[in-house]
Amino acid sequence: MKDHDSSPLTDYIEYPAEQMLSRSEQFYQDIKRRHSIRKFSDKPVDKRIIENCIKAAGTAPNGANHQPWHFVAINSAEVKKQVREQAELHEQGFYSGRAGEEWLDALKPLGTDASKPYLEHAPWLIAIFSQKKGGLNPEDKNTNYYVHESVGIATGFLINALHSSGLVTLTHTPKPMSFLSKICQRPDDERPYMLLIAGYPADDATVPKHAQSKKSLDEILTFM
């Protein structure tokens, strides 16, 4: 490698091979309990949990370490109401034709429709924004690289962190999402990437049968 400023890796933990195997099994057992939930309780969630989860998301690998993301964590009832109103408005267009027949057919087993009460019921909405320009320092206006990949990985970390904390989530991508930029007062050079809903599940929360069917290891893995 070329000469560059660095420091020794000091926080790596090498688990004994057996422990590694049991940890990987344990991780799988835990993450397979993550489900996309569409009925939330309005039970409050401590802001510090959200802060920790966003800190975790912020450690995701990303292009040139420019960290091309911004998170807006919404707890305000007034702002959540605005998000719900706008999202439902757009979803009505989606479900009443814009999606097309094939897409609507694909969604049937999930039972989704334009009504999104959880956008108000859940304690937290986390709007995730991607940045085409930026850099490590706040004043930088450099090109960012692998923005979609980077923000996607950070979002994955965030979902995992929220799940590990004991919360449930829903990934929501109303189309178009530009209303989020306005409501969250984000600059023009940022794009809304996704809206995550986070909180406790409602007592009568369900998991669609369709979503429980996972491809087998044989289908998703090839060893060479």
Sites of contact with ligand IYR (CB under 6 A) = 91, 107, 110, 112, 172-174
* Nearest CA-CA partner of 73 in 101, 42, 52: 52
- Whether residue 173 contacts residue 103, with contact meaning beta carbons closer than 8 Å, is answered with no
- Closest approach, Cβ 48 to ligand IYR, in A, equals 29
- Closest approach, Cβ 196 to ligand IYR, in A, equals 12
Residue 168 half-sphere exposure, CB side, CA atoms within 13 Å? 22
- Closest approach, Cβ 155 to ligand IYR, in A, equals 15
- Closest approach, Cβ 223 to ligand IYR, in A, equals 30
- C-alpha to C-alpha distances, 21 to 18, 46, 214, nearest whole angstrom: 5, 34, 22
The residue (of 87 and 134) whose beta carbon lies closer to ligand IYR is 87
The residue (of 167 and 177) whose beta carbon lies closer to ligand IYR is 177
Comparing every residue's Cβ against ligand IYR, the nearest one is 112
- Whether residue 194 contacts residue 172, with contact meaning beta carbons closer than 8 Å, is answered with yes
